[in-house]
């Protein structure tokens, strides 16, 4: 048994790991006691964020009933790992089953919360709604705010603006969530047609003092939305203030600059309008605001009667749009070749997968600039995750395919070696008379028993002693010693003495020798029992091994086509997923191209009009 240091219970780990896998486990007070090494091994991979090998080990250990001490914990951990791995439908099944069995309310809430989050992110809006419906009122404050925000977004997604507005208007708290709630309220109001109410809210939000980058971006966004809304409703003076509140270096600055220019143009102050628009000229043409500024500048110049400059700018714009269109075409070709997706993954090893993975940086190259904003969309990121997971699965199956080939060879070699050794073993076994050995041992037991009962100390004499005893008794019987003469008497006394000494020694050593012989016999008996057991094992092995080989071969051979089939299906799905990502990316680029086409037509039309005016003026002059 192994008592670990302060770590959360596995249940908490599995739940919290979904939110913060790297830190959650360190903070809890309860120790984990790892009783099954296989369970500890699962944790070893889990704590490293390697969900795939962790899940495989857990499933294997469950299959072999090796987690007897952690049965319930293992099931919860599995659910948590499925969720972390992005295998949300399977995770939901496990949690549904476990929660039905009665679980702590906090655990239930956290589970449903994370399921709602992942489902919302993956576009399973109905399931996300069901998960949110399952939340109790006791959800911790930080999660509750996020859950309410998700709920309001689901209402907006579903066109239920009134419900979203009602929810967001009652938002409590002063955290940054409140600012997001205000913004979403503005969105819901705009979409429900109540632009006036939205304006007030956006104005208030556009004037906040942001304490972090996220809030600063939110403030910019609110100001931009408000500015354009006012422009659209014919209030260019009012529109300038919010537009000028947008940071010059932020992601919304291009649109803000464009808008400020249009506000000035609307009040016919074209000189001033040219200032922000000229600034946009030096920026990335990829941005639609920059593209539009290329038409706005000659428009303002024409208004200022700088016709020839206006014509030059239109020509520049047409040229720039043409080049940009060509670059987009090349990018479309690159995406359609599929190479870009391999590049996505090539810089990012497939050693870990899961829901937390995000592609943060695009591969270097001229194409990357067109796709940056795609990364911000859930659909593309989630699609990319699936693409990445499928690539991992494909590689995993590739590796197994190689291994299984090795195992097939290994099994064949083992079978061959077995067949070669079998006759030798059988012959050796036939020569070994194990039953005869057992009989001999029993016979020895009987003899020893007789020796002990009859106190036959001579029976345990050594060879030398026995020889001596024979010599002494032989001398005793020598006829010459029978004579009644002093010399014979003296020898007889010496023999008597020698015999007495030898007998005394044999009798003295008898018990010790008896004990040693008995011990040897006992050890022999034990060895015989062990030999008999080994013999039975060999018999069993000889009987079962062909069966085992057959069973293993069957499994190996059946797995080969299974891997092959699975690899084919993963490959198919990989292609389908790639096509899906391609369609998103190409669709986005086509939209950009269409916009450029429209702008080009506008520029050509304006240019033609300028030439027309110029020609008319010339004719009039003549």
Partner 1 sequence: MWRVTVTRHLLHSLAICMTLLFVGTTIAQESVSADQDPTTAAALEADAAAAASRDKFRSLDQDVQALKKEVLDLNRDLFLLEEELLFPANSQVAFFISMDVGEYFALDSINLKIDGKEVANYLYTEREVDALMRGGVHRLHMANLKTGDHELIAVFTGKGPNARDYRRGATLTFDKGIGAKYMELEITDRVKKQQPEFVIKDWE
Q: Which of residues 429-488 bind partner 1 (CB under 8 A)?
A: none
Closest distance between partner 1 and the C-beta of residue 438, in Å? Answer: 22
Closest approach of Cβ 31 to partner 1, in Å? 8
CA dihedral of 593, 595, 598, 604, whole degrees rounded to 10? -70
Contact between 549 and 335 (Cβ < 8 Å):
no
The 32-61 contact track toward partner 1, x by CB under 8 A, reads x-x--x-xxx-xxxxxx---x--xxx-xx-
Binder of partner 1 out of 108, 110, 122, 240 (CB under 8 A)? 122
Question: Whose Cβ is closer to partner 1: residue 504's or residue 605's?
Answer: 605
The neighbouring-strand residues paired with 34 are: 2
> What is the number of residues in the chain?
622
Beta-bridge mates of residue 3: 33
How many residues in the shown chain lie near partner 1 by CB under 8 A? 114
Of 209 and 213, the one with the shorter C-beta distance to partner 1 is: 213
Please, what is the angle between helix 486-621 and helix 378-431, to 10°?
A: 160
Nearest approach, Cβ of residue 89 and partner 1 (Å): 5
Close Cβ partners of 608 (under 8 Å, ≥ 6 residues apart): none
List the interface residues with partner 1, window 218-247 (CB under 8 A).
Answer: 218, 221, 224-225, 228-229, 231-232
Point out which span in 131-139, 277-285, 298-306, 474-482 binds partner 1 (CB under 8 A): 298-306
Task: Please give the Cα distance from 526 to 80 (Å, whole number).
Answer: 53
Angle at 419 between CA 416 and CA 425, to 5 degrees: 135
End-to-end CA distance of the chain: 107
- Cα distances from 287 to residues 49, 185, 396, 503, in angstroms, run 38, 28, 41, 119
Q: Which ranges constitute the DSSP H helices of 304-433? A: 307-336, 339-346, 368-375, 378-431
Find the binding residues for partner 1 in span 330-389 (CB under 8 A). Answer: 376-379, 382-383, 386, 389
Among 89, 425, 482, 483, binds partner 1 (CB under 8 A): 89
Cβ 586 to partner 1, closest distance in Å?
Answer: 13
* Stretch touching partner 1 by CB under 8 A, among 97-105, 130-138, 492-500, 567-575: 567-575
DSSP label at 264? H
Which of residues 105 and 562 has its CB atom nearest to partner 1 in the complex? 562
CB of 148 to partner 1, least distance (A): 11
- Name the segment binding partner 1 (CB under 8 A); options: 425-433, 461-469, 496-504, 600-608: 600-608
State which of residues 20, 26, 422, 490 lies at the interface with partner 1 (CB under 8 A).
Answer: 26
Closest approach of partner 1 to the CB of residue 555, in Å: 5
Q: How far is the CB of 477 from partner 1 (least distance, A)?
A: 55
359-374 burial code (b ≥16 CB/10 A, e <16): beebbeeebeebbeeb
Stretch that binds partner 1, among 325-333, 438-446, 494-502, 571-579 (CB under 8 A): 571-579
Query: Please, what is the minimum distance in Å from the beta carbon of residue 496 to partner 1?
Result: 54
CA Rg, the chain, in Å? 46
Site for partner 1 contains 524 (CB under 8 A): no
Give the per-residue contact string, 398-427, with partner 1 (x = CB under 8 A; - = no).
--x--xx--x--xx----------------
User: Shortest distance, CB of residue 436 to partner 1, whole angstroms?
Assistant: 26
Q: By CB under 8 A, name the one of 134, 415, 580, 604 that touches partner 1.
A: 580
4 binding partner 1? (CB under 8 A): yes
Torsion, Cα 416 417 418 420, to 10 degrees, reads: 90
Minimum CB distance to partner 1 smaller for 69 or for 507: 69
Candidates 29, 63, 464, 621: give the one binding partner 1 (CB under 8 A).
63
Least distance in angstroms from the C-beta of 497 to partner 1: 52
Site pattern 157..196 for partner 1 (x: CB under 8 A): x-x----------------x---x--xx--x--xx-x---
Instruction: Kindly tell me which of 492 and 595 has the beta carbon lying closer to partner 1.
Output: 595
Give the C-alpha distances (Å, rounded to integers) separating 560 from 551, 565, 572: 15, 9, 18
Of 319 and 576, nearer to partner 1 (C-beta) is: 576
Q: Which is nearer to partner 1, 111 or 179 (CB)?
A: 179
Alpha carbons 233 and 251: distance in angstroms, whole number: 25
CA-based torsion, 479, 480, 484, 488: positive or negative: negative
Q: Is 573 in the site for partner 1 (CB under 8 A)?
A: yes
Q: Rank residues 198 and 328 by Cβ distance to partner 1 and give the closer one.
A: 198
Binding mask 198-217 for partner 1 (x = CB under 8 A): ----------------x--x
DSSP state of 246: S
Decide whether 503 or 602 has the Cβ nearer to partner 1: 602
Of 533-552, binders to partner 1 (CB under 8 A) are 552
Q: Within 10 Å of residue 88's Cβ, how many Cβ atoms?
A: 22
Question: Hey, what long-range contacts does 604-610 have (CB within 8 A, 24 or more apart)?
Answer: 604/314, 604/318, 606/295, 606/298, 606/299, 606/302, 606/310, 606/314, 607/311, 607/314, 607/315, 607/318, 610/302, 610/307, 610/310, 610/311, 610/314
Query: In 3D, which of 376, 379, 391, 378 has the Cα closest to residue 344?
Result: 391
Nearer of residues 8 and 460 to partner 1, judged by Cβ: 8
Q: Does 273 bind partner 1 (CB under 8 A)?
A: no
Give the dihedral sign, CA 562/567/572/573.
Answer: positive
Q: Kindly tell me which of 85 and 95 has the beta carbon lying closer to partner 1.
A: 85
Does residue 296 touch partner 1 according to CB under 8 A? Answer: yes
Burial 315-330 (b: 16+ CB within 10 A, else e): eebbebbeebbebbee
Binding residue (CB under 8 A) for partner 1 from 577, 589, 593, 600: 577
Q: Which two tokens stand for residue 281?
A: 């000229």
């Amino acid at each position: 048994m192994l008592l670990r240091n302060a770590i959360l219970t596995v249940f908490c780990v599995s739940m919290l790991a979904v939110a913060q896998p790297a830190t959650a486990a360190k903070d809890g007070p309860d120790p984990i006691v790892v009783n099954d090494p296989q369970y500890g091994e699962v944790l070893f991979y889990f704590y490293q964020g390697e969900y795939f090998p962790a899940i495989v080990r857990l499933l294997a250990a469950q299959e072999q009933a090796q987690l007897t001490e952690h049965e319930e914990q293992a099931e919860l951990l599995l659910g948590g790992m499925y969720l972390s791995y992005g295998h949300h439908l399977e995770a939901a099944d496990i949690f549904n089953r476990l929660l039905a069995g009665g679980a702590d309310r906090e655990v239930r809430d956290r589970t449903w919360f994370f399921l709602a989050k992942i489902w919302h992110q993956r576009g399973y809006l109905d399931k996300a709604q069901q998960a949110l419906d399952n939340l109790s009122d006791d959800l911790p404050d930080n999660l509750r705010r996020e859950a309410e925000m998700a709920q309001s977004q689901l209402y907006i997604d579903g066109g239920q603006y009134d419900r979203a507005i009602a929810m967001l208007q009652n938002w409590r708290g002063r955290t940054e969530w409140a600012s997001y709630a205000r913004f979403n309220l503005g969105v819901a109001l705009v979409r429900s047609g109540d632009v006036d109410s939205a304006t007030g809210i956006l104005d208030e939000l556009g004037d906040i003092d942001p304490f972090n980058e996220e809030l600063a971006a939110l403030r910019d966004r609110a100001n931009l939305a408000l500015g354009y809304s006012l422009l659209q409703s014919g209030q260019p003076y009012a529109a300038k203030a919010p537009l000028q509140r947008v940071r010059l270096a932020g992601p919304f600055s291009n649109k803000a600059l464009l808008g400020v220019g249009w506000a000035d143009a609307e009040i016919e102050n074209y000189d001033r309008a040219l200032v922000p628009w000229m600034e946009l000229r030096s920026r990335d043409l990829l941005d639609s605001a920059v593209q539009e500024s290329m038409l706005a500048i000659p428009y303002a110049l024409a208004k200022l009667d700088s016709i020839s400059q206006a014509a030059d700018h239109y020509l520049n714009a047409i040229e720039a749009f043409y080049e940009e269109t060509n670059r987009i075409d090349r990018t479309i070709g690159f995406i359609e070749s599929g190479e870009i997706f391999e590049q996505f993954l090539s810089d990012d090893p497939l050693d870990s997968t899961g829901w937390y993975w995000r592609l943060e940086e695009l591969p270097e190259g001229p194409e990357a600039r067109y796709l940056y904003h795609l990364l911000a969309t859930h659909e593309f990121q989630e699609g990319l995750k699936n693409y990445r997971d499928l690539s991992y699965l494909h590689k995993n199956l590739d590796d197994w395919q190689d291994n299984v080939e090795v195992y097939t060879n290994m099994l064949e070699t083992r079978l061959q070696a077995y067949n070669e050794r079998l006759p030798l073993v059988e012959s050796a076994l036939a020569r070994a008379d194990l039953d005869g050995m057992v009989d001999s041992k029993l016979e020895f037991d009987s003899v020893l028993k007789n020796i002990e009962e009859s106190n036959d100390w001579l029976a345990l004499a050594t060879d030398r002693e026995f020889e001596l005893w024979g010599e002494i008794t032989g001398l005793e019987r020598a006829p010459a010693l029978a004579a009644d003469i002093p010399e014979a008497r003296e020898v007889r006394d010496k023999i008597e003495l020698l015999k007495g000494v030898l007998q005394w020694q044999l009798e003295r050593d008898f018990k010790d020798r008896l004990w040693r012989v008995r011990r040897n016999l006992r050890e022999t008996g034990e060895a015989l029992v062990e030999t008999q057991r080994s013999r039975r094992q060999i018999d069993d092995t000889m009987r079962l091994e062909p069966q085992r080989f057959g069973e293993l071969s069957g499994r190996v051979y059946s797995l080969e086509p299974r891997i092959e089939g699975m690899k084919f299906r993963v490959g198919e799905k990989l292609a389908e997923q790639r096509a899906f990502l391609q369609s998103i990316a190409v669709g986005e680029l086509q939209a950009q191209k269409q916009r450029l086409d429209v702008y080009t037509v506008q520029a050509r039309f304006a240019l033609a009009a300028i030439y027309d005016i110029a020609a008319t003026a010339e004719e009039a002059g003549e």
